[in-house]
A and B are shown apart, each in its own frame.
Chain A
Amino acid sequence: MTAAPEIGSARLRSEDARLITGRTNWTDNIQLPGLLHAAFLRSPVAHARITAIDVSEARERPGVIAVFTGADLADEQGSLPCAWPVTEDMVLPDHPPIAVSEVRYVGEPVAVVVARDRYAAADALEAIDVDYESLPAVLDMESAVREGADLVHADKGTNKSYEWVFEAGDIDAAFRDAPVVIERRYVQQRLIPTAMEPRAVVCSAVGDEYTLWSATQIPHILRLMLATVTGIPEHRLRVVAPDVGGGFGSKLQVYGEEVACLLLTKRLGRPIKWTESRSEGNATVHHGRDQIQRLSLAADSDGRIRGLKVDLLADMGAYLMLVTPGIPLLGAFMFNGIYKMDAYHFKCAGIFTTKTPTDAYRGAGRPEATYAIERLMDELAGELSLDPLEVRRRNWIKHEEFPYETIAGLTYDSGNYEAATDKARQLFHYDELRAEQADRRDRGDPVQLGIGVSTFTEMCGLAPSRVLGSLSYGAGGWEHASVRVLPSGKVEVVTGSSAHGQGHETAWAQITADRLGVPFEDVRVLHGDTAVSPKGMDTYGSRSLAVGGVALYNACDKVIDKARRMAAHLLEADEKDIDFEGGAFSVRGVPDQSRTLQEVSLAAFAAHDLPEGFEPSLDSDATHDPDNFSFPHGTHLCAAEVDTETGYVKIRSYVAVDDVGKVVNPLIVEGQVHGGLAQGIAQALYEEAVYDADGNLTTTTMADYLLPAASDLPTFTTDRTETPATTNPLGVKGVGEAGTIASTPAVVNAIVDALRPYGVDDVPMPCTPERVWRALRGGGPEHSTRPGAGGGLGSATEDSRSEA
């Protein structure tokens, strides 16, 4: 019997030592006999026709085994899949893994070299000669939808992939004679998901059995998709996601490099490895966000919201990848946030540009929606001279109103916005900071103080399969788990949820130890290998615990039920009279007569004397398909000091009170919140994928694509309220994306709050010092797109650096 309940215990993560030291199965650590190395030649131009490729010199380079162009593989490489046709008439262009006749973004693969080592492969790329006939770059979404615009896919006749509309309530009535109408245009800048481990692939073939190791979030989905694309039968293909160093959505993808490595292994009969460099990844890992949001909010003079209109342009990039078109639509149900309103109108157009394709990035659609509504709530408060918390209080769903069907048609099962806000307000010292703000304003302090509010919710725990079906998504949203009590009493847990840094091995072992009453150390968690974990829907959308954890919970119950039957047999009692507690079965009222789970397991394994019809061994399978999404929420408060002389923003304090329901491991939750905050704050202040006027990505290195380090972030104050989800037996909601979703508007609201007396009502993201400084001066030219001078690393280093 374990001393303390495992569920709720702040255990250190048992996987961390090997992950942090790197002494583990990172894909790039894999060595196989005869391993060859691939390197991809990539388009240096945004849009061009490929008129000729000469690889003959590259083929002669020392160490080179083979060189293939897209044309060489055209018959078998297929088209990269898009699993989410959001409308019946969605424009879905072909997407060859290696470009055949046309390139549509900088970084698109045009040829691949296979060589004996990485160095030979990289050198040989320089010897490939490609003739490009330039075509116009399409970079700006608003221009791209105009009549006569240059086209990304000329044969499609349009740059619009789809238009998707959602309407609820009478929107015209809501806006008619509305005392307050707030209209804003916000830009969700393009972000580059930056996982600590870059992408890497290793493929091998033994006979006609293929194994692909990939730094992926989705081994199960990837297996099915690769089988479909390459024609390798699904049952001859094993996909392994070994230890994976983060993904944030970027590894929820079927990448051309994965397809190409598999095909080259098939062609050459040799194992092949490819590992991307950071700069290569910046250009070719799918990007995130990138929306233009046109928003109108109608309200009564007391601040009560009447209706909301959302008109989005969402940049798809050059192609539709796995779930590209659906990402902005995940936000469609979230623009109303935690608020009640009479009417809602949502329209989204997916637009092609000659940029890297976009797809899921931590939060995926919900951060964009949350940003919009939480910024609008502050604008509404500003318009009505109300405190931003007060205007929210007047509109939010009250705790006694749950379950609540929102205007967007979702049913929020539970929540308590009042409790989270009260707690956050107290931890933040809200009133004192408001007093200091007033004082600084009075004094004309060059450093002004702003207070930013974000009372967010999100939908996660993706997802009820029937809902996914109604949204035309290509798969379900269930998750699988199995539990095997081994003859020695040790326990193996198999989960279909593929961890890539989230700590499943610890949390799943805690759930199992808790349910089965076995020591934590006796539980091993297996995942991420289609040969080991035969069924699964993988990890994204904060679904692991709320869906996969519940599957595990149910699988544990099934094992206990099976063991109870065996125990009853051993104890010669009726099954109904068997209690299970602390890992042991006993006959009710006869506590000295008991059998441990281990004893029962051994008896079930030996199978010498089994109950009638009992199958040997103690194991179980469970699949959980949720009835509803889960809805974490919270109140985040940010205090920012804004230097009006330089535009520099310093976050002075940040309070995050999150309600993620029941918690299995508070330390893991804390870590997820911290990481999420860092990424959300980074969108507000630091990160932006920048393209120049020719369509070249100029933020190719971390010198120009800025990520905050710990030293750039404040010490976070985190706390929780706990309103259990009512839709699953664990009461959990999911926490993977909450921090990212909540924090971006909190930071920008703080900056705008600091500057509102100066007539500022917006600063475009990321709120760089120069943008803040220009906002204070009524605007001005946008940043140059040129990379920074530092180190000479920028790709435009040959240009003249200085202006005359």
Chain B
Amino acid sequence: MIPGSFDYVRPSSLDEAVSALRDAGDEGKVIAGGQSLLPLLRLRLAFPEVLIDVASVPELHGVRDEGSSLLVGAMTTHYDVLRDPLIREHAPLVAAATSTVADPAVRHRGTFGGSLAHADPAGDLPAVVLAMDGVFVTSSREIPAAEFFADYLTSTLEPDEVLVGVRLPKAFAGWGFHYEKFHRTAQAWAIVGVACLVDRSGGEVAGARIGLTNMGSTPVRASAVEAAVRGGAADREAFRAAAASAAEGTSPPSDLHGSSDYRRHLATVLTARALSAAAGV
């Protein structure tokens, strides 16, 4: 568990961070909380020549109220996200999913932006941000969540682009929410996870957002289920029927924690449960 050698820089502004990345060319890597990157370095699965530590870039910290949305700074730790009153009020699904990330030690070091930029489809937050139509704010542009996750561990961030934060709409504040994580041990990654938001008016479902964790090389939306529940009854039977199409269009991995067939099956069961929990039925 000894990483290869690398240089380390710690810029104190966003401009400095961008220029450090630019100087490093293809050999630079941003380090945030290090909870994903350091294991990769120590297992010698990654060999960046320069680590650019963005911990001292002030723009990246904290959660800001922007009126109709929140901007969650990329360097905000999971622990701080969990305790943040704005998150709790306007984006409780984020808090629910964050509370399931790894263990307390990781949640104290790991960051919101770091885990999203890592673009791990088994991570808990990508499916949440995708379901919420979050917007990734970078040093140079804004990227809608639907365009951010390109492939396994690959985002559409350019090599010289720094993730500043993620804009989360407040529009879902009144919606029912639930993050259903299925894993074998508390510290294990999700075999499948379902991030779910449900807007109920009376007995009906006015709208639903569903993001799936670890059902492909990127987080995916269960669009067919979203469409199927819209305008329908908010009850378990309806949810179960709608959730039957949860795995439609997905290509989940097969690994020693579960086969792709099993994951497809889980997606249907867990999506039904997540909808019920989010709708409170």
In residues 52-89 of chain B, which contact A (Cβ within 8 Å)?
A: none
Q: Does A708 contact B (CB under 8 A)?
A: yes
Q: A709-B186, A711-B186, A793-B40 are in contact. Are A785 and B214 (CB under 8 A)?
A: no
Q: Is the CB of A709 within 8 A of B185?
A: yes
Please name the residue on chain B nearest to A798 by beta carbon: B45
Q: Which residues of chain B (195-254) have a CB below 8 Å from chain A?
A: 214, 216-217, 251-254
Asked if A789 and B256 make an inter-chain contact with CB atoms under 8 angstroms apart, the answer reads no
- Interface digits, A781-796 against B, CB 8 Å rule (1 contact, 0 not)? 1011111111111100
Do A123 and B122 touch (CB < 8 A)? no
Contact A703 B255 (CB under 8 A): no
Q: Is the CB of B185 within 8 A of A784?
A: no
Interface pair A791/B184, CB less than 8 Å apart: no
Instruction: Give CA–CA (A699, B255) in the complex, Å.
Output: 11
Cβ contact within 8 Å between B122 and A788: yes
Give the chain B neighbours of A685 by CB distance below 8 A: 184
Chain A, residues 694-738, CB within 8 Å of chain B (1/0): the string is 000011010110111101100000000000000000000000000
A791–B38 Cα distance when bound, in Å, is 11
The answer to whether A706 touches B185, judged by C-beta atoms less than 8 angstroms apart, is yes
Q: Which of B103, B191, B216 has the most chain A CB atoms closer than 10 A to its own CB?
A: B191
Q: B281 in the interface, Cβ–Cβ < 8 Å?
A: no
Taking the closest CB of chain B, its distance from the CB of A646, in whole angstroms, is 6
The one of A698, A711, A773, A789 that contacts B121, using a Cβ cutoff of 8 Å? A789
Q: CB distance A788 to B216 under 8 Å?
A: no
Question: Quick check: is A118 within 8 A (CB to CB) of the other chain?
Answer: yes
**Is B139's beta carbon under 8 Å from chain A?**
no
Q: Is the beta-carbon distance between A794 and B255 smaller than 8 angstroms?
A: yes
Residues on the B chain within 8 Å of A277, using CB: 1-2, 42
B262→A773 contact, CB < 8 A: yes
Min CB gap A691→B, angstroms: 11
Could you tell me the distance in whole angstroms from the C-beta of A119 to the nearest C-beta in chain B?
6
Are A790 and B40 neighbours in the complex by a CB distance under 8 Å?
no
Q: Output the residue of A685, A790, A793 with the most chain B CB within 10 A.
A: A790
Distance A794 CA – B153 CA, assembled complex (angstroms): 13
Q: Is the CB–CB distance between A802 and B251 below 8 Å?
A: yes
Residue among A122, A707, A773, A801 making CB contact with B217, cutoff 8 Å: A801
Determine if A2 is an interface residue (Cβ-Cβ < 8 Å). no
* Interchain nearest-CB distance for A165 vs B (Å): 36
In the complex, what distance in Å separates the CA atom of A804 from the CA atom of B250?
10
B265 touches A786 (CB 8 A): no
Given the complex of chains A and B, what is the CA–CA distance between A740 and B187 in angstroms?
Answer: 22
Asked if residues A803 and B186 are in contact (CB atoms below 8 Å), the reply is no
Say if the beta carbon of A488 comes within 8 Å of chain B: no
A686 within 8 A of B: yes
Given A279-B1, A801-B253, A803-B253, A789–B185 Cβ distance below 8 Å? no
Q: Given the complex, which residues of A lie within 8 Å of B40, measured CB to CB?
A: 791-793
Q: Are A786 and B2 in contact (CB under 8 A)?
A: no
Q: How far apart sit A784 and B40, CA to CA, in the bound complex (Å)? A: 23
**Which residues from chain B contact A788 at a C-beta distance below 8 Å?**
122, 188-189, 255-257
Contacts A646-B266, A699-B256, A783-B256; A712 near B120 (Cβ below 8 A) = no
Q: How distant is the Cα of A783 from the Cα of B4 in the complex, in angstroms?
A: 33
Q: B185 and A686: CB pair below 8 A? A: yes
B1-45 vs A, Cβ < 8 Å mask (1 yes, 0 no): 110110000000000000000000000000000001001101101
State which of B121, B184, B189, B265 has its C-beta within 8 Å of the C-beta of A768: B184
Please, which residues of chain A bring their CB within 8 A of the CB of B42?
277
Interface positions of A from 754 to 804, Cβ below 8 Å from B: 768-770, 773-774, 780-781, 783-794, 797, 801-804
Residues of A within 8 A of B256 (CB): 688, 690, 698-699, 704, 783-788
B-contacting residues, A650-705, CB 8 Å: 685-686, 688, 690, 698-699, 701, 703-704
Q: Does A648 contact B (CB under 8 A)?
A: yes
Find residues 130-181 in chain A having any chain B CB closer than 8 Å to their own CB: none
A789 adjacent to B152 (CB under 8 Å): yes
**B254 and A646: CB pair below 8 A?**
no
Determine whether B140 belongs to the interface, using a CB cutoff of 8 Å to chain A.
no
Q: A119 and B2 in contact (CB under 8 A), knowing A706-B188, A781-B259?
A: yes
Please indicate the chain A residues that have their CB under 8 angstroms from the CB of B123 in the complex.
790
**A278 in the interface, Cβ–Cβ < 8 Å?**
yes
* In the assembled complex, B172 has its CB within 8 A of some CB on chain A: no
**Contact status of A789 and B2, CB under 8 A, knowing A784-B259, A802-B251:** no
Are A786 and B254 in touch, CB under 8 angstroms? yes
Report the separation of the CA atoms of residues A707 and B188 in the bound assembly, to the nearest whole angstrom. Answer: 9
> Which residues of chain A are within 8 angstroms of B262 by Cβ–Cβ distance?
769-770, 773-774
Q: Known contacts being A698-B256, A784-B259, is A793 close to B45, with CB within 8 Å?
A: yes
Q: Give the CA-CA distance A704 to B257 in the complex, in Å.
A: 8
Indicate if A16 sits at the interface (CB-CB under 8 A).
Answer: no
Q: Which of A707, A709, A781, A791 contacts B122 (CB 8 A)?
A: A791
Using A278-B1, A708-B185, A793-B39 as known contacts, say yes or no to A784 and B45 having CB atoms under 8 A apart. Answer: no
- Does A645 count as interface, using CB distance less than 8 angstroms? yes
Please, which residues of chain A bring their CB within 8 A of the CB of B280?
none
Bitwise, B148-167 to A at CB < 8 A (1) or not (0) is 00001100000000000000
Are B185 and A769 neighbours in the complex by a CB distance under 8 Å? no
Distance, CA A769 to CA B266, complexed state (A) = 10
Which residue, of B39, B42, B257, B260, has the highest number of chain A Cβ atoms within 10 A?
A: B257
CB <8 Å contact, B255 and A803:
no
Roughly how many angstroms separate A369 CA and B266 CA in the complex, as a whole number? 35
Of all chain A residues, which has the CB nearest B272?
A645
A661 to B48, CA, bound (A): 59
Distance in angstroms from A277 CB to nearest chain B CB is 4
Contact in complex: A712, B185 (CB < 8 Å): yes
Cβ–Cβ < 8 Å partners of B121 in chain A: 789, 801
- Asked if B265 contacts A773 (CB within 8 A), the reply is yes
**How far is it, in angstroms, between the C-alpha of A786 and the C-alpha of B260 when the chains are bound?**
12
Check B258 for interface membership: any CB of A closer than 8 A.
yes
- Cα of A794 to Cα of B40 in the assembled complex, Å: 10
B182–A648 touching, CB < 8 Å: yes
Assembled-state Cα–Cα distance A701/B120 (Å): 17
List residues of chain B with CB within 8 A of the CB of A648.
182
Q: Is the CB of B189 within 8 A of A790?
A: yes
A784 touching B39 in the complex, CB below 8 Å, given contacts A278-B1, A707-B185, A790-B122:
no
Which of B45, B184, B187, B214 contacts A789, CB < 8 Å? B214
Contact A803 B251 (CB under 8 A): yes
Which residues of A have CB within 8 Å of B152? 789, 792, 801-802
Q: Are A686 and B184 in contact (CB under 8 A)?
A: yes
**For residue A804, which residues in chain B have a CB less than 8 angstroms away from its CB?**
251
Alpha-carbon distance between A707 and B120 when the two chains are bound, in angstroms: 22
Whose C-beta in chain A lies nearest to the C-beta of B214? A789
Determine the residue in chain B with the shortest Cβ distance to A276. Answer: B1
Closest Cβ of chain A to B32, distance in Å, is 14
Q: How far is the CA of A650 from the CA of B255 in the complex (A)?
A: 22
Contacts of B257 in A (CB 8 A): 704, 768, 770, 783, 788
CB distance from B155 to the nearest CB of A (A): 13
Residue of B nearest to A707 (CB): B185
Looking across the interface, which residue of chain B has its beta carbon closest to that of A774?
B262
Complex interface: chain A residues within 8 A of B146 (CB): none
Interface hub of A39, A685, A707, A770 (most chain B Cβ within 10 A): A770
Identify the interface centre among A645, A780, A792, A804: most chain B CB within 10 Å of its CB: A792
Tell whether A646 pairs with B269 under 8 Å between CB atoms, given A686-B185, A787-B255: yes
Measured CB to CB, the nearest residue on chain B to A682 is B185
Q: List A contacts of B120 (CB < 8 A).
A: 789-792
Contact status of A797 and B45, CB under 8 A, knowing A278-B1, A789-B122, A790-B188: yes
Contact between B39 and A712, CB atoms less than 8 A apart: no
A645 to chain B, nearest CB (A): 5
Q: Could you tell me the distance in whole angstroms from the C-beta of B78 to the nearest C-beta in chain A?
A: 15
* 6 new A-B contacts at CB < 8 Å, known A774-B262, A803-B252: A279-B43, A701-B39, A703-B188, A773-B265, A783-B257, A788-B188
A-B contact pairs, 8 of them (CB 8 A): A686-B185, A784-B259, A786-B254, A787-B256, A789-B122, A789-B152, A789-B253, A797-B153
Top 3 A-B pairs, shortest CB-CB distance: A790-B189, A122-B2, A277-B1
